[in-house]
Chains A and B, each alone.
Chain A
Amino acid sequence: MNVADYQEEVKMKKTVIFGALTVAGLAAGAAGAATLDDVKARGKLNCGVTTGLAGFAAPNANGEWEGFDVAVCRAVAAAVLGDKNAVEFVPTTGKTRFTALASGEIDFLARNTTWTFSRDTDLKFDFIGINYYDGQGFMVPKALGVSSAKDLDGATVCIQTGTTTELNLADFFRKNGIEYEPVPVETNAEGQQQYLAGACDTYTTDASGLAATRATFENPDEHVLLPEIISKEPLGPLVRHGDNDWGDITRWVLNALIAAEELGITSANIEEMAGNTNNPEVARLMGTEGTLGEMIGLDAEWAKRAIMAEGNYGEIFAKNIGEETPIGLARGLNAQWTDGGLLYAPPFR
């Protein structure tokens, strides 16, 4: 056995030992190798969603998943596999979502997850964009006569324990030099009950959640959302760190949905736009011009299929959480940049 072989073997043994020690890390690495190939071989996209959040992801009476996050999953499946129903929805809780993605059980996590520094770096994930700009707000009964969160001195506040909202709340009150008394609750459902029962003066959580909660009240008009938004909660889908090709595909599917709204492409007029346009960016997006699809390892019509799946970003928003739905969220920050919002898809060229 010469020295080189010996070293090779020692290295291998080390690998085995380290492998055994860090099965977790290795498995994640192996799973991240070529997600696109895995998905194509499987013929299904394993997409992690919540176990149920009104408007964002929930199965309907027939057991089909619908919602704002679900639509992103379907768009990715349509772009990659050509079938928006080729998705296996894997329900995850707040506690199991990250391990499910890291272990390779799911390929893509679309579960209203806040993009934070440590989740992106320390937990080894890549956020591929932001599909909903959220922020923490306050809901109070109208009878309380409060018009600003700064008037809440001495108020009792219902707050979900163990969340970032708890920390934001403490920061906000300290910064403004006012006092509050927390009433800890475990889930949104519990918070809703406590608030309605009068156990707390105000209930605080993400503004989208507050709006959805308020919509279920018997008399929604008796409650108001205060204008202050005290935190940034950019919610976005994420993939495992390390497979940049897969990250690119999913990132540009999301961008395609956003760009389509900006360019006026809807699921209704898409055929017309694809066949007959003099806007070169639309032509590139639709695959009639250029080779964008090829660059990310897909065919030319990937973006067209993604948009046809559930419509462009605006359509998805309107159908699931928009003002016409019981959730009734306004576009606000989630409007296109041309309308004063934050949605700004990089150019397709």
Chain B
Amino acid sequence: MSDTHAESIAFVRESSLPPAAPPEKVGGPFKWVKDNLFPTWANAILTIVALYFLYLLLSGSLPWLLNGVWNASSLSECREILDGATGACFSVISERWHQLLFGFKYPSDQYWRPTLALVLLFLAVAPVLFIDLPRKLLIFTGIYPFLAFWLIWGGPIWGPVFALLGVIVGYMVYARLVHNSFAKALAGGIVAAAIVWYVGGIIGDALRPARPLLEAVPSRDLGGFMLNMMLGITCVSLSLPIGIALALGRQSHLPIVKGICVVFIEFVRGVPLITLLFVANVMLAYFFPPGSGVDLFIRVVIMITMFSSAYIAEVIRGGLAALPKGQYEAADSLGLDYPQAMRLIILPQALKISIPGIVNIAVGLFKDTTLVSVISLFDIIGMIRGPILASTDWNGVYWELFLFASVLFFIVCYGISQYSQWLERRLATDHR
């Protein structure tokens, strides 16, 4: 363009002027403050009141937080160091952090085992959580439960190995039969796995080494935040498939299946979790002969899983009900049988709708795991309320300990909720 005017016009600007900053009055921080904090008289008053409360809150808590003592050996020593000044006594956390995280009986030279299990957990759940990762990683996810069990509980390696073997054989049988009929394949897979487990149990007993590679830790020695994490993760991951099965069962046309599912869901939802935990701890002890009782941890896992699967079933039922009938009819018109239709068309959509509800239940359940402190399991709250507050050194330290626990819970729960929001955006295929 400039060529046309090259002779007739002396100067032609070839690039635009750099944008100038807007005048002070209509832009920049001044405008932001005016628009957002003091747009009207009423809002201005509210802003000032809010600032005043913020000041009260911070002036009360900041000296306490910043002036904290981290290296005393008892509460009285803390008070000596502070000498009347305001300040937290965080030394209880620096002295007892291992008990808060792992419980007071987990052997301290073995802390690397649950820590490693936690690190591997992120590897194992990554392909489940992030659908863009290569699918091959799912193999590790499959191995992980057995590996984590072995890492945390220790003992002979044969138990987890044969358990894994049973699952693999069961899956192979299932994969071979699934072309004929889903139900037959499922039954065949379960039977095959059971046979392997039974035989494996016998062989495992015979191979029991005198001194296992990893020292065995009984489950009553587990505790602290580790116990909350274990209960939360195990129960959520177990209750998801059970919840799906219950939700589908409740919609079934078979009266017995439907009846069982309805009764189970309504019964469990009608009973508080704490009652189920008491049943697990107190009542079941009567039904087993003394000394041969099933592990308390497993009893608690069963009860919490029952509880959360009933709730998840109802959430998924909501997702199923939200699907237009046309989706079911479309599956039928393609000639898909029931398992195929569910697996390929109905559930992917229904589960997507249910994500917020499922996450809601998962977060609630994770926090509910602190209820086990009532039945004398030493989860993080049990550790705080029991051994730590009862020790003569730390009796009287409340805020610091519960603050620590709430920070841990906040990190996990906030992480879960951020993930679910990301997942919803990622899965959003409709254009609203």
Q: Which residues of A contact B (CB under 8 A)?
A: 23-24, 27-28, 30-31, 38, 42, 50-55, 57-61, 63, 90-93, 95-96, 99-100, 102-105, 187, 189, 192-193, 212-213, 215-218, 325-327
Q: 8 Å CB contacts to A: which residues of B94-119? A: 95-96, 99, 104-105
CA distance in complex: A42, B291 (Å): 9
CA distance in complex: A105, B288 (Å): 10
B166 at the interface (CB under 8 A from A): no
Complex partner residue of B293 from A38, A61, A105, A325, CB under 8 angstroms: A105
CA distance in complex: A218, B392 (Å): 14
B286 at the interface (CB under 8 A from A): yes
B367 at the interface (CB under 8 A from A): no
Asked whether A52 lies within 8 Å of B390 as measured between CB atoms, the reply is yes
B378 at the interface (CB under 8 A from A): yes
Asked whether A23 lies within 8 Å of B375 as measured between CB atoms, the reply is no
Complex partner residue of B391 from A31, A58, A95, A99, CB under 8 angstroms: A58
Q: A218-B79, A326-B76 are in contact. Are A93 and B286 (CB under 8 A)?
A: no
B386 at the interface (CB under 8 A from A): yes
CA distance in complex: A145, B396 (Å): 25
Minimum CB–CB distance for B51 against chain A, Å: 27
Minimum CB–CB distance for A69 against chain B, Å: 11
- Chain A residues near B374 (CB-CB < 8 A): 93, 95
Q: 8 Å CB contacts to A: which residues of B67-107? A: 75-76, 79, 95-96, 99, 104-105
CA distance in complex: A58, B384 (Å): 12
B289 at the interface (CB under 8 A from A): yes
Q: Which residues of B contact A (CB under 8 A)?
A: 75-76, 79, 95-96, 99, 104-105, 278, 281-282, 285-287, 289-291, 293, 373-376, 378, 382, 385-392, 395-396, 398
Asked whether A23 lies within 8 Å of B376 as measured between CB atoms, the reply is no
Complex partner residue of A327 from B105, B287, B389, B392, CB under 8 angstroms: B392
Asked whether B396 lies within 8 Å of A192 as measured between CB atoms, the reply is yes
CA distance in complex: A58, B387 (Å): 5
Minimum CB–CB distance for B308 against chain A, Å: 23
- Chain B residues near A192 (CB-CB < 8 A): 396
CA distance in complex: A31, B388 (Å): 33
Asked whether A216 lies within 8 Å of B396 as measured between CB atoms, the reply is yes
Minimum CB–CB distance for B215 against chain A, Å: 15
Complex partner residue of A59 from B75, B76, B104, B286, CB under 8 angstroms: B104
CA distance in complex: A27, B390 (Å): 33
Asked whether B285 lies within 8 Å of A51 as measured between CB atoms, the reply is no
CA distance in complex: A50, B104 (Å): 15
Minimum CB–CB distance for B359 against chain A, Å: 31
CA distance in complex: A327, B293 (Å): 38
Asked whether A53 lies within 8 Å of B385 as measured between CB atoms, the reply is no
Asked whether B285 lies within 8 Å of A52 as measured between CB atoms, the reply is no
- Chain A residues near B387 (CB-CB < 8 A): 51-52, 58-59
- Chain A residues near B375 (CB-CB < 8 A): 93, 96
Q: A61-B96, A216-B75 are in contact. Are A103 and B391 (CB under 8 A)?
A: no
CA distance in complex: A193, B401 (Å): 14
- Chain A residues near B281 (CB-CB < 8 A): 96
Asked whether A61 lies within 8 Å of B99 as measured between CB atoms, the reply is yes
CA distance in complex: A189, B386 (Å): 11
Main secondary structure of the interface of A (DSSP, over half): mixed
Q: A23-B287, A58-B391, A215-B395 are in contact. Are A63 and B105 (CB under 8 A)?
A: yes
CA distance in complex: A59, B281 (Å): 22
CA distance in complex: A189, B285 (Å): 30
Asked whether A51 lies within 8 Å of B391 as measured between CB atoms, the reply is no
- Chain A residues near B285 (CB-CB < 8 A): 99-100, 103-105
- Chain B residues near A61 (CB-CB < 8 A): 95-96, 99, 391
Complex partner residue of A91 from B282, B386, B391, CB under 8 angstroms: B386
Asked whether B99 lies within 8 Å of A104 as measured between CB atoms, the reply is no
Minimum CB–CB distance for A71 against chain B, Å: 15
Minimum CB–CB distance for B226 against chain A, Å: 14
Asked whether A99 lies within 8 Å of B382 as measured between CB atoms, the reply is no
- Chain A residues near B389 (CB-CB < 8 A): 52, 54, 189
Going nearest first, the 3 A-B pairs with the smallest beta carbon separation are A52-B390, A104-B290, A216-B396
CA distance in complex: A91, B223 (Å): 13
- Chain A residues near B99 (CB-CB < 8 A): 61, 63
- Chain A residues near B376 (CB-CB < 8 A): 51, 90-93, 96
- Chain A residues near B392 (CB-CB < 8 A): 54-55, 215, 325-327
Residue of A nearest to B390 (CB): A52
Asked whether B396 lies within 8 Å of A52 as measured between CB atoms, the reply is no
- Chain B residues near A217 (CB-CB < 8 A): 396
Asked whether B105 lies within 8 Å of A51 as measured between CB atoms, the reply is no
Complex partner residue of A30 from B290, B293, B390, B396, CB under 8 angstroms: B290
- Chain B residues near A51 (CB-CB < 8 A): 373, 376, 378, 382, 385-387, 390
Complex partner residue of A23 from B95, B286, B373, B385, CB under 8 angstroms: B286
Asked whether B76 lies within 8 Å of A96 as measured between CB atoms, the reply is no
CA distance in complex: A326, B393 (Å): 9
- Chain B residues near A60 (CB-CB < 8 A): 391
Asked whether A31 lies within 8 Å of B290 as measured between CB atoms, the reply is yes
CA distance in complex: A22, B69 (Å): 56
- Chain B residues near A27 (CB-CB < 8 A): 286-287, 289-290
CA distance in complex: A50, B382 (Å): 12
Residue of A nearest to B95 (CB): A61
Residue of A nearest to B284 (CB): A103
